Amino acid sequence: SNHSAASDASSSRANFYNLLPAREDHGKCKSRFEQHRYGKRDWEYVPSEYLIDRLRSYEEFHARCTRGNSQTWFNSSTATENNDCKFILWLDNSGLGNKMVSIAATFLYALLTRRVLLIDPAEDMEALFCEPFPRSSWFAPRDVPLEFLRSDEFRISFDKCHPGTAKFARHAYIEIMNGYDSIGDKFFCEKQQQNISDQFPWLTITTNLYFVPSLYYVPSFRTELDKLFPRQEAAVFQHLVKYLFHPSNAAWDRATRFYDTYMAGSSKLVGVQMRVLPNFQDLSRRAQSFSDAMVQCLLQSKLLPDVSVASNSSASGKIIGVVVASLDGQYFDGLREIYVSSPTVDGSLVRVFAPSKERWQQTNDRNHDEKALADMLLLSFCAELVTSPGSTFGYAAQGLGGVKPWLLNEKNCSKLDSTEPCFHAKVFYGCNCDSSSEAKSVQNNARSCPDVPWGLQTS
């Protein structure tokens, strides 16, 4: 009947076409069951059968390898029962957006290399997100010796053109942090990846970046990536985010309560994420002009109607909601002032909201991070997004919403054709140490990012 066809459709939307595992625990993690009701209704990129199969078998693998006493599985390479269990432990030291993009990348790396992903238990991720993998936890046990694992003696260094590793040990440590420059480390090379896989059941990674574009450099990874994401463009991050990040009830309730109270009645929703980063000095020196540029962008793109003192068009009944997320209140103040001081030319009403007023970054303060996540979610519920360059906070929002944003640069504002984050890194080398010609061919799979010229984006 029509009724069951409709409910089938809504249940496939609810678990994102089987991307998510079947779950019973409705109360514990409401966002998992309610997320599809907010934001975009249609799912532009349906997950491949292959991705779904790999996720289901990953979940089994994760549960099996993390069962029982952590001391046992920590030493798993010697325990015959868990012989095939290898691990990658993610450590971080950055803001929420950086955490999300780098966990997504690390999880994809874990899928490609058949490792179990574990998350640093010291961070407040537990308060922010639900467990993504059924019947198990993604948090490393508290007795895992983090400091020991991240010590310099385990650091991988593939010395220039010689594919050797630092020490003969069972652990290796890698850092892929802001400004990552891979020259001399060759992490994204086939032979080196083979060595890592053969030698190190434990890999510890400190990262705050979305290094997925460079995973495409490794030929065997690329083959697998093409199967996982046959429509590679614009789809990798969205799938990973939808799969991994389900806000905890506290963060979810904050966001949905705000939405229901202030945003639900709008005919159109626009999200604006304003962040001026130190790498973009020109912008920060001219914050005022960035605010003007934001207004220009919203008007020229026709996301918002213009205003005019002379306007006498009658109320159209149309209400446009604008969510402004920023640590700097001037963007919200300026925009709201425009719409309370003059009528719009088309008679619509523009409601401008600022869900939080945090002023400065307080990463790992529970309450602050919960507001940050709620801001990301509220942005992701909007049909249109304007983001600022280089911000992983904005990347996370566009990934959660599956929305291709308008990117506001100093000079212009244009709609992007992808929701993929940028890998803020300089990866210019060839794996066989035949520098220039190889470096070029390696870059064929990636392009430079629209927001960060020195970065790489999956093309």
Six-digit token pair at 213? 């574009």
Point out which span in 141-149, 214-222, 297-305, 387-395 binds ligand GDP (CB under 6 A).
387-395
Extract the tokens encoding 250: 């506290």
Q: Which stretch binds ligand GDP (CB under 6 A): 88-96, 216-224, 229-237, 298-306?
A: 88-96
356 binds ligand GDP (CB under 6 A): yes
Distances (CA, A) of 128 to 20, 123, 172, 374, 391: 19, 10, 29, 10, 20
Q: How far is the CB of 98 from ligand GDP (least distance, A)?
A: 4
Instruction: List binders of ligand GDP among 275-294 (CB under 6 A).
Output: 275
Through-space distance between the first and last CA atoms of the chain, rounded to whole angstroms: 42
Tell which positions 163-182 bind ligand GDP, by CB under 6 A.
none
User: In terms of CB distance, is 115 or 246 closer to ligand GDP?
Assistant: 246
Secondary structure class of 129 (helix, strand, coil): strand
Min CB(31)–ligand GDP separation in Å: 18
- CA separation (Å) from 18 to 92, 217, 247? 30, 29, 19
The binder of ligand GDP chosen from 120, 358, 420, 451 (CB under 6 A)? 358
Query: Within positions 256 to 275, which residues make up the interface with ligand GDP, using CB under 6 A?
Result: 275
Residue type, 250: A
For residue 267, the tally of other CB atoms under 10 A from its CB is 12
**Nearest approach, Cβ of 120 to ligand GDP (angstroms)?**
15
Q: Segment near ligand GDP (CB under 6 A), from 123-131, 160-168, 353-361, 406-414?
A: 353-361
Total residues interacting with ligand GDP, rule: CB under 6 A: 20
Q: Residue 355: helix, strand or coil by DSSP?
A: coil
If one counts every other C-beta atom within 10 angstroms of the C-beta of residue 152, the result is: 9
Distance in angstroms (rounded) separating the CA atoms of residues 96 and 370: 10
Compute the distance between CA of residue 440 and CA of residue 437 in angstroms, rounded to an integer. Answer: 5
CB of 80 to ligand GDP, least distance (A): 42
Reference 251, options 384, 396, 366; nearest CA is: 366
**66 vs 248 by CB, closer to ligand GDP:** 248
Q: 265: helix, coil or strand?
A: coil
Which CB, 31 or 392, lies closer to ligand GDP?
392
Q: Which of 92, 120, 185, 375 binds ligand GDP (CB under 6 A)?
A: 375
Site string for ligand GDP, 89-108 (x = CB under 6 A): -----xxxxx----------
132 sits near ligand GDP (criterion: CB under 6 A)? no
Residues in CB range of 135: below 8 A, 6 or more apart? 59, 63
Complex with ligand GDP: residue 225 or 379, whichever CB lies closer: 379
380 binds ligand GDP (CB under 6 A): no
Given the rule CB under 6 A, which of 54-62, 182-190, 227-235, 369-377 is the region that contacts ligand GDP? 369-377
CB 363 within 8 A of CB 93: no
CA-CA distance, 210 to 419, in Å (whole number)? 13
Q: Could you tell me which stretch among 168-176, 223-231, 264-272, 357-365 binds ligand GDP (CB under 6 A)?
A: 357-365
The shares of helix, strand and coil residues in the chain, as percent rounded to the nearest 5, are 40, 15, 45
Residue number with CB closer to ligand GDP (189 or 372): 372
Q: In the complex, which residue's CB is closest to ligand GDP?
A: 95
Q: List contacts with ligand GDP (CB under 6 A).
A: 94-98, 275, 325-327, 356, 358, 361, 363, 368, 371-372, 375, 391-393
